Chain A
Amino acid sequence: MKLRIGMVVLGVAVLLAGCATRQTPVGLNPDAFGATAGRVGVAMTALPKVDTYFPGASCLLCLAAASIANSSLTTHAKTLSYEDLPKLKERVADALRRKGADVVVIPGEFDVGALPTFANSGPNVAPKDFTSLQKKYGISRLLVIEVQTLGFWRTYSAYFPTSDPKAIFSGRGYIVNLGSNAYDWYLPVNVLRSAEGVWDEPTAFPGLTNAYFQALELGKDSYLNPFAQ
């Protein structure tokens, strides 16, 4: 009986999670940085491994088939570098300084998951409670760079690919007002680049490698451009 109740609770939780509203983009609040805005912290979460992703290969056997079919691409993906991506927070910080902001770079990998859940949820309010960071770092706002997916993305319908593999860079960037825990800026980043010409060129995959570095540049631009204007 306990097991049944547990299964029902789990099922409802999964359904509710599926219905959870997705955060929509929030335009950059010009008051979020500048002489009167207070100090801004810039943090970056841990970078994901460069890897392959097969959305739509939804059954275990489908996923195994997709993994085997793309194993040489997966092996190649793991050899690709981040280039200067780990320094992105310093570049964003420099861009903010050029806009007149007082900026501090938060050292190390920032762990959003370790923050407690924010009690007063609402539109354009961060689900995690960032407010305690105000004292910890002596900042009034926090800009967070989260890169979530990096590598190659190939859509599937069960056992079969529905697209050629493409380079992917996805993530999000946001500024949280540490007084209200509300977003002063929220930008989803989703870059997909296809290989020019054929893609299936094992073992070096030059077309897809080129696309990967293009996606890497475009992804970095997504975080820098809002502060370059």
Chain B
Amino acid sequence: MTARHAGFAFVAAAAFAASCCRAAEVAEATIAPVIAPGLRWELRLPKEDKVVYRGVVSFDGAGVGTASMLYPAPNIAVGLIAVLVHGLTNEAAKKMQKDKLQDAADQVLSPYQVVLADFKYRDLLQRGVERMATGGMRTIVENARTPGAEWFVESLPVFALTQDQRALVMENPLSIYAPGASSAAAWQKTVKVVSGVKTGDDLTAFWTADEGRNLKTESARLLAESLDIALGEAVWGPAKGSEVYQTFRYPEGGSEKMERGQLVAERCHRRVIRTLRGGLLSVPAGDSAVSCDDAAAGAQ
């Protein structure tokens, strides 16, 4: 194992150990053991103010049918216009249907509006960096700031709640600039993190209690994990992982999901998968042979 790979494995193990092992309930803030205390980096605030939450949506049933079409064509011009109008109305109908499906999926968040109304990215990022493992000096900087002498991270995490409210999913497109390299990002990928499965009779109450403490804590935990994974790869290089493509199964709330990709790391009942799009996906893996204790030991 090269120093790069060891570094990434080290970060991944500590990140998992710090943030991934509670399935039933969100615990209070856990400060991860710091990895590479000499590493300094900055996290830029997104332009957006309020943290974006959506409902998890499926477009598997989308489509507006296969109705046959008889074009009125008294002459070529009218025929062509009829064909063009048909094409435009089709596209509009497809878009309208997708918007409707997303709007319907977002209804799951109705009971959450009160607690989410004032949840700002500044608050989320602060909570997130407190739960991270990577680097001794982490600074949240304004959106106007540009990359400079430190590692510099741009991030825009977007969250989605599953329809059964049993899991939170975060997609975080990230750009990381190496110190002194302000023009081009050294690392640019989307990291997606799926929370563990929550259980309970009243999950709305669970997430929203105490001004949404559990929802905000879990969101921060997912953000922290995505930043640890991204920084680990950007600073120490990609983990070697497996070269074999597999279809991985994992729980997303009460549903079983699948993702085609390569295994990057497996720690503490979680897996990190490199997806076909080249992004990274961290998912619960109840069948993982590597326990949290093993992961923590490996991180020592």
Q: Which residues of A contact B (CB under 8 A)?
A: 55-56, 58, 83, 155-164, 166, 192-194, 201, 204, 206-207, 209-210, 213-214, 216-218
Contact = CB atoms under 8 A, between A and B. Distances in A.
B105 interface: no
B120 interface: no
29 contacts: A56-B67, A155-B64, A156-B66, A157-B64, A157-B67, A157-B86, A158-B68, A158-B69, A158-B71, A159-B83, A160-B86, A160-B87, A160-B91, A162-B63, A162-B94, A163-B62, A163-B94, A164-B59, A164-B94, A166-B60, A194-B62, A206-B275, A206-B278, A210-B259, A213-B247, A213-B258, A216-B247, A217-B258, A218-B258
A200 to B, nearest CB: 13
Contact of A210 (B62, B93, B249, B276): B276
B259 A194 contact: no
Contacts of B260: 209-210, 213-214
A187 B268 CA distance: 39
B74 interface: no
A187 to B, nearest CB: 19
Nearest to A154: B63
A206 B275 CA distance: 8
Contacts of A166: 60, 63
Contacts of A162: 63-67, 90, 93-94
Given A161-B90, A163-B94, A155 B247 contact: no
A192 B86 contact: no
Given A159-B83, A162-B64, A162-B65, 19 more contacts: A56-B68, A83-B247, A157-B64, A157-B67, A158-B83, A158-B86, A160-B91, A163-B63, A164-B59, A166-B60, A201-B277, A204-B276, A206-B275, A206-B276, A206-B278, A207-B277, A210-B260, A213-B258, A217-B247
B99 to A, nearest CB: 14
Contacts of B259: 210
B58 interface: yes
B276 A163 contact: no
Interface of B is mostly: loop
Contacts of A216: 247
Contact of B249 (A155, A164, A217): A217
Given A194-B58, A209-B260, A56 B66 contact: yes
Contacts of B59: 164, 194
Contacts of B71: 158
Name the 3 nearest CB pairs between A and B, nearest first: A56-B66, A163-B63, A206-B276
B72 to A, nearest CB: 13
A214 B60 CA distance: 12
A161 B94 CA distance: 9
B87 A159 contact: yes
A194 B61 CA distance: 8
Q: Which of A155, A163, A201: most chain B CB closer than 10 A?
A: A163
A19 B260 CA distance: 41
A168 to B, nearest CB: 11
A160 B71 CA distance: 13
A58 B68 contact: yes
A206 B66 contact: no
A93 B131 CA distance: 49
Contacts of A155: 63-66
B89 to A, nearest CB: 9
Contacts of B63: 155, 162-164, 166
Contacts of A209: 260, 276
A55 to B, nearest CB: 5
A88 to B, nearest CB: 15
Contacts of A159: 83, 86-87
Nearest to A214: B258
Nearest to B63: A163
B173 to A, nearest CB: 11
